[in-house]
Amino acid sequence: MAPFFSILPVLSLLPLLSSAAFTDTLPLRSSLSVDKHQTDTLRSPNGTFTCGFHSIYDNAFTFSIWYTNSANKTVVWTANRDRPVHARGAVMTLRKGGALVLTDYDGTVVWQREGDPAGVRYAQLLETGNLVLKNSRGMVLWQSFDSPTDTLLPSQCINAATKLVSTTGLHVPGHYIFHFTDSSILSLIYDDVDVHEIYWPDPDNGEYQNSRNRYNSTRLAGLDEMGNFVSSDFANQRAIVASDEGHGIKRRLTLDPDGNLRLYSLNNSDGRWSVSWIAVSQPCNIHGLCGPNGICHYLPAPTCSCPPGYVMSNPRNWSQGCSPQVDINCTVDQVQPVQFVPLPGIDYWGSDQLHRDQVSLEACKNICRSDCTCKGFQYNQGSGTCYPKAFLYNGKAYTAPTKSARMMHLKLPMGVNISGIPIPQTNVLISRKQHPDCGQMNASTMEPFPYVHKANQGEAKWFYFYGFAGAIFVLEVFFIASAWCFVLRWELGASEIQAVEEGYKMMTSNFRRYSYKELVKATRKFKEELGRGGSGIVYKGILDNSRAVAVKTLENVRQCEEEFQAELSIIGRINHMNLVRIWGFCSESSHRMLVTEYIENGSLANILFKDNILLEWRQRFNIALGVAKGLAYLHHECLEWVIHCDVKPENILLDRNLEPKIADFGLVKLLNRGGSNQNVSRVRGTIGYIAPEWISSLQITAKVDVYSYGVVLLELLLGKRVLDLAVGADEEVHKVLRNLVGMLVHMLDNEESSSIAEVVDCRLNGQFNYMQARTLIKFVVSCLDEDRSKRPTMESIVQTLLLADESCSMC
């Protein structure tokens, strides 16, 4: 019997012997020591992860797991995040009883985990990055995956009981949390003693608008090997997809020190991380960034500032925000005289004490004046809504034109001198350097060219706004990154800067330059023509990786190479499910081409007017909604405030599921910039769809797209081309449209339900949703308003259509 027993210890050492240099296993009664932290480590079987002591300061270590190959030891899990151990004498031991115990130099137990104490035989670092305690049968009794820190790895799950908590620059847990809320919605939350607020998904929207589903209380989320992140509350189980989706890439989902959640991919050759998805693309939307009373604004780099009457609390640390120069004394019996300072465009999200509808500005002031704890109020002129606030958190200066109605009124003691103190504002108007070798780039010749907004007379400025909607897309800006880091360098520690820098590094692998030869081959010498437009011919192509693409040859490109690429680098990052994705470009000698996603079902024009496929009502409504979303994104949310200028059914493509995707956005930026005008009308819009202000040569705004969208809506309803109702000149079409609109207005006024059926495409045989049709008709009327200021914004159209869609999906 004796020889048999002596084999047992050897068996438990077998895993140790399987790899000469590294082991993944820590047997019972053995330990890892900080004194030998270079060699005393566990390494996962294929070497992806290492586990051991990790130095955070000269004399302080944590027990952590990190990516072996990452340039700066990217830590994915830490046992003792809030209590580092000394550089000498600390050990992690798997004790005889099965407890895994971390002790400091003096023997203090800093951290410990017991599995089923009796059963634990060894600890093992798995290839997934999971540190587990196993029993003799290999069953897992405890795993580090159940108590994540700030990072989620592929195959790891977040459930009702787990959460990610950010790590600050001082290597301690921060105030940002990623977990399931009580209503089972996976959220990003800012949490400190005074505030507990959700900032992702967008708190201004309902679950439905955020594509979340509150009726699934499974509360389970996880990242898979392909780069898909799914959660039980995502509507239709639709995943968040890494922009470099695919096997064989090492990833992590990390809640960074700046409160943003990012999905990273590792470049194995240089150990650097690139971002393949980001939760909040406009940093000012992250709560707590500028601390109490602070205001986040874009210059265009995100910046924190104090409002008038306030000063920065701690000049080294923005998270402590601003404090009032003079406090209002609430203990005084009689009410102290106060003044209200209007802060246009600024809102402090949340912390409303109450809300009153339909009160005058004066009444709102009185409400705030009489309550000593009131720090100011938000007042909505239109609805007369008054929101007095007791705390001023999440101050943000809005940019989008539609949000300009926001006005914060700050309450300050009477004596405080605020004259000459600037009000923080988002300044998205930045001067754009003119390229000296692009002669035609001249402010005076560009009017009324779109994108140019004459902020100050005679000075062409570029409207520029970044961010992004939807959960599935990545877009970041290189040149913002440097400015952003410059701003933050002041306030954040070194590792926070690093995270921010990594976070803002653009993931460019999906947008690339193609050689002319490659495209000749892909299109088989430009054999299969898909379509022709004012800007060029589109061909179908198949790339080497057998991906189908559309290759568009651009005529009339007059820009120099540098400028062409600069524009492309912006357009190429625009990414939204209702916009055709641009994969790359070719720019060689005189060839200028765009390589875009190939969309299976061709254009809306082909299907609606030519093919004999009948679009059902549901599909038409979905197209109206999708196009509105795409345009709203271009107008309000994307990188640069882009006006499409040529919205028409030809430029709306339909994918396999008849989901619309807008093509040719941003083309105006590439073509024929203000120069010779023989093709101007083609570039600048299409007869039948162009707004009246084109003709009166007023300055062009996003409202030209709203007008064209109105025409497209009308065509979706009628199933006919508006142009076919008129013949000849543009004035003619215009007249026909005016008559039609007049008729529709009359119809809406008289609530004639029968006549709505007469308007809607007769091929539908009356199979349509009356309420939705009415909503669309109302939009046709308002979008086609001669007075562009009366046309709605695409953003508000989306909101209304979503509601119309929702109310229907519920009935």
Ligand X SMILES: *[C@@H]1O[C@H](CO)[C@@H](O)[C@H](O)[C@H]1NC(C)=O
| Binding-site annotation: residue ranges | 552
Binding residue for ligand X, selected from 439, 547, 676, 677, defined by CB under 6 A: 439
Extract the runs of DSSP E, i.e. beta strands, from 352-416. Answer: 376-380, 385-389, 395-397, 407-413
Binding mask 226-265 for ligand X (x = CB under 6 A): ------x----x----------------------------
Backbone angles phi, psi at 654, to 5 degrees: -120, 130
Cα separations in angstroms, 527 against 51, 216, 523, 530, 723? 56, 50, 6, 10, 31
Q: Cβ 350 to ligand X, closest distance in Å? A: 19
Yes or no: say if 227 and 251 are a contact pair by the CB < 8 Å rule.
Answer: yes
Binding of ligand X by 272 (CB under 6 A):
yes
Binding of ligand X by 58 (CB under 6 A):
no
Q: Cβ 153 to ligand X, closest distance in Å? A: 13
CA distance 758 to 121: 78
∠ CA(649), CA(652), CA(656), 5° rounding?
125
Residue 184 or 686: the one with the smaller Cβ distance to ligand X is 184
Residue 415 or 742: the one with the smaller Cβ distance to ligand X is 415
Q: Which helix (H) or strand (E) holds 240?
A: strand 240-241
Q: Which residue has 């959960």 as its token pair?
A: 471
Binding of ligand X by 672 (CB under 6 A):
no
Q: Which residue has 């921010």 as its token pair?
A: 500
Could you confirm whether 40 is annotated as catalytic?
no
Binding of ligand X by 136 (CB under 6 A):
no
Which two structure tokens, joined as six digits, stand for 306?
């104090």
In this chain, which stretch among 16-24, 491-499, 600-608, 700-708 interacts with ligand X, using CB under 6 A?
491-499
Residue 269 or 678: the one with the smaller Cβ distance to ligand X is 269
Work out whether the CA dihedral 387, 388, 393, 399 comes out positive or negative. positive
Binding residue for ligand X, selected from 10, 332, 810, 811, defined by CB under 6 A: 332
Query: Helix, strand, or coil here: 132?
Result: strand
Q: Cβ 545 to ligand X, closest distance in Å? A: 14
Q: Cβ 429 to ligand X, closest distance in Å? A: 19
Backbone angles phi, psi at 288, to 5 degrees: 80, -5
Q: Cβ 630 to ligand X, closest distance in Å? A: 28
Residue 495 or 681: the one with the smaller Cβ distance to ligand X is 495
Which two structure tokens, joined as six digits, stand for 377?
């109020």
Q: Cβ 240 to ligand X, closest distance in Å? A: 13
Binding of ligand X by 489 (CB under 6 A):
no
Residue 259 DSSP one-character state: S
Question: SS3 letters for 589-647?
Answer: CCEEEEEEECCCCCEHHHHHHHCCCCCCHHHHHHHHHHHHHHHHHHHHHCCCCCCCCCC
Residue 234 or 709: the one with the smaller Cβ distance to ligand X is 234
Residue 9 DSSP one-character state: H
Yes or no: say if 502 and 273 are a contact pair by the CB < 8 Å rule.
Answer: yes
Binding of ligand X by 329 (CB under 6 A):
yes
Number of residues in contact with ligand X, rule: CB under 6 A?
35
Q: Cβ 168 to ligand X, closest distance in Å? A: 6
Binding of ligand X by 55 (CB under 6 A):
no
Residue 49 or 63: the one with the smaller Cβ distance to ligand X is 49
Q: Which residue has 């000459």 as its token pair?
A: 420
Yes or no: say if 773 and 752 are a contact pair by the CB < 8 Å rule.
Answer: no
Neighbours of 402 (CB within 10 A): 16
Binding of ligand X by 453 (CB under 6 A):
no
Which residues, 6 or more positions from 209, have their beta carbon under 8 angstroms from its beta carbon?
202, 799, 802
Residue 431 or 509: the one with the smaller Cβ distance to ligand X is 509
Residue 269 or 456: the one with the smaller Cβ distance to ligand X is 269
Binding-site annotation, residues for ATP: 552
Work out whether the CA dihedral 441, 442, 443, 444 comes out positive or negative. negative
Q: Cβ 441 to ligand X, closest distance in Å? A: 8
In this chain, which stretch among 198-206, 416-424, 446-454, 667-675 interacts with ligand X, using CB under 6 A?
416-424
Sheet of 429-430: strand order equals 429-430, 459-463, 452-456
Binding of ligand X by 317 (CB under 6 A):
yes
In this chain, which stretch among 275-283, 337-345, 401-409, 440-448 interacts with ligand X, using CB under 6 A?
440-448
Yes or no: say if 168 and 238 are a contact pair by the CB < 8 Å rule.
Answer: no
Binding residue for ligand X, selected from 420, 422, 436, 766, defined by CB under 6 A: 420
Closest CA to 417 of 309, 341, 328: 309
Binding residue for ligand X, selected from 12, 80, 216, 510, defined by CB under 6 A: 216
Residues in a beta bridge with 407: 344
Binding of ligand X by 456 (CB under 6 A):
no
What is the chain's alpha carbon radius of gyration, rounded to the nearest angstrom? 30
CA distance 387 to 390: 10
Binding residue for ligand X, selected from 147, 360, 373, 417, defined by CB under 6 A: 417
Q: Cβ 127 to ligand X, closest distance in Å? A: 4
Residue 698 DSSP one-character state: P
Bridge-based pairing of strands 512-513 and 582-588 is parallel
Residue 136 or 445: the one with the smaller Cβ distance to ligand X is 445
Which two structure tokens, joined as six digits, stand for 160?
């009702």
Q: Cβ 68 to ligand X, closest distance in Å? A: 13
In this chain, which stretch among 35-43, 417-425, 529-537, 578-586 interacts with ligand X, using CB under 6 A?
417-425
Binding residue for ligand X, selected from 6, 38, 269, 696, defined by CB under 6 A: 269
Terminus-to-terminus CA distance in the chain, angstroms? 76
Chain residues 147-206 in contact with ligand X, contact rule CB under 6 A? 168-170
Binding residue for ligand X, selected from 35, 82, 116, 127, defined by CB under 6 A: 127
Binding of ligand X by 46 (CB under 6 A):
yes
Binding of ligand X by 442 (CB under 6 A):
yes
Bridge-based pairing of strands 395-397 and 295-298 is parallel
CA distance 310 to 569: 40
In this chain, which stretch among 326-334, 368-376, 399-407, 622-630 interacts with ligand X, using CB under 6 A?
326-334
Alpha helices (H) along 265-393: 361-370
Binding of ligand X by 509 (CB under 6 A):
yes
Yes or no: say if 756 and 739 are a contact pair by the CB < 8 Å rule.
Answer: no
In this chain, which stretch among 141-149, 324-332, 538-546, 701-709 interacts with ligand X, using CB under 6 A?
324-332
Binding of ligand X by 651 (CB under 6 A):
no
Chain residues 61-100 in contact with ligand X, contact rule CB under 6 A? 71-72
Q: Cβ 500 to ligand X, closest distance in Å? A: 12
Binding of ligand X by 320 (CB under 6 A):
yes
Q: Which of 24, 104, 150, 646 is catalytic?
A: 646
Binding residue for ligand X, selected from 358, 419, 456, 696, defined by CB under 6 A: 419
Binding of ligand X by 218 (CB under 6 A):
yes
B/e letters for 379-401, b = 16+ CB within 10 Å, e = fewer, are beeeeebbbbbebbbbbbbbbbb
Binding of ligand X by 270 (CB under 6 A):
yes
Number of helices (H) and strands (E) in the chain: give both, helices first: 18, 46
Instruction: By CB under 6 A, name the binding residues for ligand X.
Output: 45-46, 71-72, 127, 168-170, 216, 218, 220, 232, 237, 267, 269-270, 272, 317, 319-320, 327, 329, 331-332, 417, 419-420, 439, 442, 444-445, 493-494, 498, 509
Could you give the residue numbers annotated as active site?
646
